[in-house]
Structure 1
Amino acid sequence: MKTSEINEMTVNEIIEKIDTERAELIRLKLNHSISPLENPLKIRDLRKNVARLQTILHQKQLTEK
């Protein structure tokens, strides 16, 4: 997900997306520990997306104050 796409989202949408991405990340980690994933780079991409979402959420919350 690109930063420009995240900037267009509302705070509530970002929070929902973070929850969804975290759940997916946990599921992928568990699956990877049982049997190797075809593309283990998905874990890294999801982790970076969560961090990107949290950063922009924090920025939006600071500008609202």
Structure 2
Amino acid sequence: MKQQEINKLSLEDLKSRLADFKKQYSSLKLTHKMAPIENPLRIRGMRKVIARLSSELTKRSNQA
């Protein structure tokens, strides 16, 4: 997800997307520990998306 897409999301969408990405991230890491996945850079990309979503959520909560 790009930052522009994240900025357009509502607060509820941010929370749900963050929960979804965290769930996907944990399952991807577990899969990678058992057997290497084809593209391990997906793990890094997902971590960055989670960080972007968390940052935007924090920014919005501090503004309110």
Once the two structures are superposed, residues 5-63 of structure 1 have per-residue CA deviations (whole angstroms, 9 ceiling, x without a partner) of 10110111000000000000000000000000000000000001000000011111111
Let me know the Cα RMSD of the aligned residues: 0.5
C-alpha separation in 2, matches of 1:47 and 1:54: 11
Q: Which runs of 4+ in 1 moved over 3 A?
A: none
> What is the TM-score with the length of structure 2 in the denominator?
0.96
Q: Structure 1 regions of 5+ residues with no counterpart? A: none
Map of 1:45 onto structure 2: 45
Q: Structure 2 regions of 5+ residues with no counterpart? A: none
> What is the TM-score with the length of structure 1 in the denominator?
0.95
How many residue pairs align between the two structures?
64
